[in-house]
Chains A and B, each alone.
Chain A
Amino acid sequence: MSRTQETGTLSGRNLSISQTILLSFTVITAAATIITGFTLYRQFAARSRQMMTESAERLTERAVVTLEDYLTDMRQLSDAMYYDVIKDRDFKTDSIDTEMNMFYETGRDRIVSLALYSLTGSLVSAAPSAIEKPGLDVASESWFSRAINEVENFHFSLPHVQNLFDDPNYRYYWVISLSRAVRITVNGVPRSGVLLVDMNYSNIVQMLDDINAGNSTGQYMYLTDNNGNIIYHPKMMQISADILNENNEAVAAYEDGVREESFGGETRVVIVDTVSYTGWKLVSVIPSSSFSLSLSQMRSFLVMVMAIMLLAIVLINRIVAAYISSPVRKLDDAVRNASGETPIPDDSFENGSLEIQNLGKTLQNYQKRNSQLMRDIVREQEEKRKSELDALQSQINPHFLYNTLDSIVWMIESGRDKDATQMITQLANIFRISLSKGNTIIPIEDELRHAINYMNIQQVRFRNAFEVKFEADPELSRYCTVKLIIQPILENAIYYGVKNMDEDGMIIVRDWKDGDDIYISVEDNGFGMGKEEVAQLLLEDRSKANHHGSGVGLYNVHKRIQLRFGENYGLRIESEPDVGTVVIIRFPAIPYTEENRKMLEEGGKEKGV
């Protein structure tokens, strides 16, 4: 397996151990980090929301207390005015202008005016001294009628522009009217009247503006009466001008406490706290955007921390993955590099974990056993090849013996005993060389001597019907050749070349060296063959199916040379009808030594060539 196969895609299943560990750990830890971060954020958000709400509740409570103190002051001022000044006076004779002015001066930063009206709405006394607007119908004012109708209570009006006294400086004041029924004694007769304290509305505005100014996250407070009419709102003018809206009408139905409401397409938390006595409701609004704003910094911080954690986790996972996979990778490399002759080294696994050591030893044993098996297979193959060679070689002997004995029989039948004796002697020489002490590789000189003996026998048989020439190069006599490769070619040259010629046939045997190869040619001037027939001569099937016998020997020679020296060597046949045939043997030039012989005998064609 190559390295490129080791690094596959995620979708593939061929990730390395290191990658698998890194990926698995990273996915698991990233998921855990994200879930933890998300959970922490949710908890923080909920806690933050709770804290903001509680803080707003506390702020609202304090604002209500401040408002109540302010309104209590106003009621106490009214009480003091009534019980200390008005109640015991007889207005027939007494005037309260001085006392009223004194009270006004005392509270002038909080009140716009003090006024005492009779039941009919006529002004009894007022401070500061001012001219009442002409044509006023005070009795029709709501603050007046409420005071008369509910005599036990103080009554706080909604903010309105005071419409009682003429101010030549064109000034108009926003006030909240605090009215109450009083008893006025005139000439000893008690009568009903109304005491009016016009509170400076800007005090309440300033008070609540200051509280709202402290909120920078969009929270705000507003004040309504018990019917939901707005008394104060930080956007009072915008609401009055119909530029903005407020959910004040719904507030009338709200109980004190915290609640959620939807308004203007936004969900928001509202805290309602009722101001005692007046029934006014102070409403704190926390828009959902306020929560988001307060959490945005936390959110970015959390994302930052999680990003750093994730990268650190990837880094650590890489180190861990490398540590775990290192022995496996080392063993893997050793297994890759190991071959039949190079065993898996011990140091490739002996420092690894127990499992790796066991695996390494097992692989090492397998590798050794495998190498042994390979050697056995090679040896068996060699033996098989050798036996095949022997089989091929054994095909020569009966063929040649048959032909020779045929010649000897012919001589004896024709009474040529001397020639027969000589021929048998030649035959004995041939067999001696054939045996060659069992060697397959012999020197070229032996092979040529064998060929000469053979041709001597054939010339006796054919009564010198053809000539034979051997033009051997003495320099090549001590080079290796496979034995019995010339004789089958000579046999073919005789039987299919020159035997039946009317004129004298000629067979010439030559040898020469060209480069690293040696060539031996057998040339005859016989009948020759066509190209198609030549092309068929060295084919196994053709040789087996040869109808007139030629080719069996040629194929055997060709195959034996190739088995011993390789596919580049063997026979080459050139023939032309009525001209003759040349068979050229080619094999590598290997000096004949005992060492080379043994090497070639053992089938080392690759080593020898």
Chain B
Amino acid sequence: MKRTGRIITGLIIAGIGVIVLTWFLTSTSTISEPQKKRQFVTVVVSDSTDSRWVRFRAGLEKAADDYDVSLNYAVTGKFESPQEQMHLISGAASASDGLIVQLEESEESEESVRDIARTTVLELIDLSETFSASEEGSYAGIGTDSRAIGESLAETVQNDMAESEVPAELKIGIISGNQRLAVSRERLSALTEALEVFGITPVWIAESAESVESYVNVNTVIALDNTNLEQAGDILRTDEEPRIRLYGIGCSDKTIYYLDRGLIAAMIVPDDFRMGYLAMTEVHNRLNTPNIPMKDRQVSFEVITKDNLYSKKHESMLFPIIN
């Protein structure tokens, strides 16, 4: 009985000691504890300093701030080849918890993506419809619906001409942009197919058109990426008697300015802020709940004209408040 009593007493004293020690260690470690390791997410896009990415980057930064994620926005130029891009992505993957990548798709890229997704949370942007989705949800894609964009462009061009004071036959030149990007190929394909529906066949299709002479045979030019839309705007700006209606896909301050000035008749603007925010959200969620599969997402786009440029709906999308 006495021995049992001594054991109980000893256990009680030991219990008090453990609690006090735990408390002491906890309280001191709270003071000196290094900050919890932040998740590190790297973003790799082609020509990262291009103004096309301003809104996308704003979305990334807002999400990174909301989720307390450390964002590394890799500075890149235009990639010479998919292999060069994949080399950079592989390097970034080894040093990051998560990756957000604009992929230049190639035959090897799907295998490479699967390899990277085994060790790193991977979110792909502007992914083509043909790119194989991850069945187990180890990576996912986010972007706009390329086909819908192509169709919307064709419809806008057709309606503008139909409502014009001086309707004329549509003679369209298409600046397709970098066709190494599957998404660009899909947009072109969707646009030409939609124009076919209206009985229109493009007069020419070029990856880039760098002089006004190129536009001699057409009255409408459609640029399928922001860089070429800016370039086309630059060219047409010098035209003293504007005779060409310019359309395209863009989102930079310059293209908005051209739209505001009337150089661009209408412009498709993807909600890049939302795309950036949701891409980071998906990576963050996957990092915190690895068992939940990642899901592909689509973001919307708007057809912007000079008339609705300053509407309340479009203001915040076109002119993000970047503190």
A contact face: mostly helix, strand, loop, or mixed: helix
Q: Point out the residue from A160, A166, A242, A304 that lies within 8 Å of B310, measured CB to CB.
A: A160
- Does chain B have a CB within 8 A of A189? no
| Chain A hits for B261, CB < 8 A | 166
B16 touches A238 (CB 8 A): no
Q: How far is the CA of A8 from the CA of B321 in the complex (A)?
A: 75
A171 touches B253 (CB 8 A): yes
- Does chain B have a CB within 8 A of A236? yes
Q: How far is the CA of A7 from the CA of B260 in the complex (A)?
A: 93
B260 to chain A, nearest CB (A): 7
- Does chain A have a CB within 8 A of B119? no
B274 touches A241 (CB 8 A): yes
Chain B 274-323 interface residues, beta-carbon cutoff 8 Å to A = 274, 277-278, 310, 312, 315-321, 323
Q: How far is the CA of A308 from the CA of B14 in the complex (A)?
A: 11
B321 touches A237 (CB 8 A): yes
- Using A170-B257, A315-B9 as known contacts, say yes or no to A202 and B323 having CB atoms under 8 A apart: yes
| Chain B hits for A311, CB < 8 A | 12, 15-16, 19
| Chain A hits for B66, CB < 8 A | 235, 238
Q: Point out the residue from B8, B19, B22, B256 that lies within 8 Å of A170, measured CB to CB.
A: B256
- Does chain B have a CB within 8 A of A392? no
Q: Point out the residue from B20, B271, B319 that lies within 8 Å of A308, measured CB to CB.
A: B20
B20 touches A237 (CB 8 A): no
- Does chain A have a CB within 8 A of B13? yes
Q: Point out the residue from B16, B26, B310, B318 that lies within 8 Å of A312, measured CB to CB.
A: B16
| Chain B hits for A172, CB < 8 A | 253, 256, 319
| Chain B hits for A240, CB < 8 A | 316-317
A238 touches B277 (CB 8 A): yes
- Using A209-B323, A308-B16 as known contacts, say yes or no to A241 and B253 having CB atoms under 8 A apart: no
- Does chain B have a CB within 8 A of A250? no
| Chain A hits for B319, CB < 8 A | 161, 172, 174
- Does chain A have a CB within 8 A of B56? no
Q: How far is the CA of A338 from the CA of B66 in the complex (A)?
A: 81
B317 touches A318 (CB 8 A): no
Q: How far is the CA of A171 from the CA of B312 in the complex (A)?
A: 18
How big is chain A's contact interface, by range? 35 or more
Chain B 1-25 interface residues, beta-carbon cutoff 8 Å to A = 1, 5, 8-9, 12-13, 15-16, 19-20, 22-23
Q: How far is the CA of A300 from the CA of B27 in the complex (A)?
A: 11
Chain A 201-255 interface residues, beta-carbon cutoff 8 Å to B = 201-202, 205-206, 209, 235-238, 240-243
- Using A3-B1, A238-B277, A308-B19 as known contacts, say yes or no to A160 and B321 having CB atoms under 8 A apart: no
- Does chain A have a CB within 8 A of B247? no
B317 to chain A, nearest CB (A): 7
- Using A160-B315, A172-B319, A311-B12 as known contacts, say yes or no to A243 and B256 having CB atoms under 8 A apart: no
- Does chain B have a CB within 8 A of A322? yes
Q: How far is the CA of A304 from the CA of B310 in the complex (A)?
A: 59
A322 touches B1 (CB 8 A): no
- Does chain B have a CB within 8 A of A163? yes
Q: How far is the CA of A365 from the CA of B215 in the complex (A)?
A: 131
B323 touches A241 (CB 8 A): no
- Does chain B have a CB within 8 A of A307? yes
Q: Point out the residue from A161, A163, A243 that lies within 8 Å of B274, measured CB to CB.
A: A243
- Does chain A have a CB within 8 A of B147? no
B19 touches A304 (CB 8 A): yes
- Does chain B have a CB within 8 A of A314? yes
B156 to chain A, nearest CB (A): 21
Chain B 203-254 interface residues, beta-carbon cutoff 8 Å to A = 253-254
- Does chain B have a CB within 8 A of A133? yes
B231 to chain A, nearest CB (A): 15
B23 touches A241 (CB 8 A): no
- Does chain A have a CB within 8 A of B53? no
B contact face: mostly helix, strand, loop, or mixed: helix
A405 to chain B, nearest CB (A): 75
| Chain A hits for B254, CB < 8 A | 170
- Does chain A have a CB within 8 A of B117? no
Q: How far is the CA of A134 from the CA of B263 in the complex (A)?
A: 13
B78 to chain A, nearest CB (A): 22
- Does chain A have a CB within 8 A of B185? no
With CB as the reference atom, state the residue of chain B lying closest to A321. Answer: B5
- Does chain A have a CB within 8 A of B273? yes
- Does chain A have a CB within 8 A of B58? yes
| Chain A hits for B273, CB < 8 A | 237, 241
Q: How far is the CA of A342 from the CA of B253 in the complex (A)?
A: 111
- Does chain A have a CB within 8 A of B171? no
A315 touches B13 (CB 8 A): yes
A237 touches B5 (CB 8 A): no
B8 touches A318 (CB 8 A): yes
Q: How far is the CA of A172 from the CA of B26 in the complex (A)?
A: 52
A237 touches B13 (CB 8 A): no
With CB as the reference atom, state the residue of chain B lying closest to A329. Answer: B1
A552 to chain B, nearest CB (A): 61
| Chain A hits for B62, CB < 8 A | 235, 237-238
| Chain A hits for B8, CB < 8 A | 318
| Chain B hits for A315, CB < 8 A | 9, 12-13, 16
Q: How far is the CA of A240 from the CA of B12 in the complex (A)?
A: 59
Q: How far is the CA of A312 from the CA of B316 in the complex (A)?
A: 62
B23 touches A237 (CB 8 A): no
A-B contact pairs, 26 of them (CB 8 A): A3-B1, A7-B1, A133-B260, A160-B312, A160-B315, A161-B310, A161-B315, A161-B319, A170-B256, A172-B253, A174-B319, A174-B321, A201-B321, A237-B59, A237-B320, A240-B317, A241-B277, A243-B277, A243-B278, A300-B26, A304-B19, A304-B22, A304-B23, A307-B19, A315-B13, A318-B8
Q: Nearest 4 A-B pairs (CB), nearest first? A: A240-B316, A170-B257, A170-B253, A311-B16
List the interface of chain B (C-beta within 8 A of A).
1, 5, 8-9, 12-13, 15-16, 19-20, 22-23, 26, 58-59, 62, 66, 253-254, 256-257, 260-261, 271, 273-274, 277-278, 310, 312, 315-321, 323
List the interface of chain A (C-beta within 8 A of B).
3, 7, 133, 160-161, 163, 166-167, 170-172, 174, 201-202, 205-206, 209, 235-238, 240-243, 300, 304, 307-308, 311-312, 314-315, 318, 322
Task: Apart from A174-B319, A237-B59, A237-B316, list 20 A-B contacts with CB within 8 A.
Answer: A160-B312, A166-B261, A170-B257, A172-B256, A172-B319, A174-B321, A202-B323, A205-B323, A235-B62, A237-B58, A238-B277, A243-B274, A307-B19, A308-B16, A308-B19, A308-B20, A311-B16, A311-B19, A315-B13, A318-B5
